[in-house]
Amino acid sequence: MLTREELDAAKSRAAVVLAETGIVLTSAEIDAIEVADFGLSRLDEIGLEIVVYVNTERVCAKELVLFPRQTCPEHRHPPFASSPGKEETFRCRRGVVYLYTEGEPAMNPACRPPEPDGDAFTVWHEIELRPGEQHTVPPNTLHWFQAGEEGAIVSEFSTTSTDELDVFTDSRIGRTTVVRDA
């Protein structure tokens, strides 16, 4: 849950970072910036600010803004209907983002999971992405990511986004942000 003030502050902060990076949005897009706290009410640690450019029945493109050390929690995009699940390419535009997926775990990972949620972060194959670098996560593959000390902007190119189907490792997580009016 977020208060209206927290929501508006996060939207403004994301809009400023995007503008500083030279990414131009319409005012309707700025108004529509999605602030996801994943139902945990700890936005600074676990959260994501999202601009959805397009999401058709076939293709989706977004910008993701991560504040310093902000974490998108571990999840996967399972198969549904005739789809094998969502395929995502993450391309770093600003800052550094550490992407963790299934595979050989990093010996000394650059990130720690937000306390006290260590059990909800189970994959530790580390991919460090700096501006111009990208990685494609196949469908139905566990992944999570965290920005470095200066935050990050990440472009996401994917198949259709169906957030409500995402499966999070932390069963307390709800994908819909609830806003409490003071």
Residues in the site for its own copies, rule: CB under 8 A? 21-26, 29, 53-54, 56, 58-61, 87, 89, 91, 93, 131-134, 136, 155, 157-159
CB of residue 10 vs its own copies: minimum separation in angstroms? 20
Cα–Cα dist 63/138, whole Å: 19
Give the nearer residue to its own copies in terms of CB position, either 26 or 171. 26
Give the nearer residue to its own copies in terms of CB position, either 84 or 118. 84
CB of residue 178 vs its own copies: minimum separation in angstroms? 29
Cα–Cα dist 70/152, whole Å: 9
Give the nearer residue to its own copies in terms of CB position, either 155 or 162. 155
CB of residue 164 vs its own copies: minimum separation in angstroms? 20
CB of residue 179 vs its own copies: minimum separation in angstroms? 26
CB of residue 27 vs its own copies: minimum separation in angstroms? 9
Give the nearer residue to its own copies in terms of CB position, either 52 or 123. 52
Give the nearer residue to its own copies in terms of CB position, either 34 or 133. 133
Give the nearer residue to its own copies in terms of CB position, either 122 or 140. 140
CB of residue 64 vs its own copies: minimum separation in angstroms? 14
SS (H, E, C) the chain: CEEHHHHHHHHHHHHHHHHHCCCCCCHHHHHCCEEECCCCCCCCCECEEEEEEEECCCCEEEEEEECCCCEEEEEECCCECCECCCCEEEEEEEEEEEEEECCCCCCCCCCCCCCCCHHHCCCCEEEEECCCCEEEECCCCCEEEEEEEEEEEEEEEECCCCHHHCEECCCCCCCCCCEECC
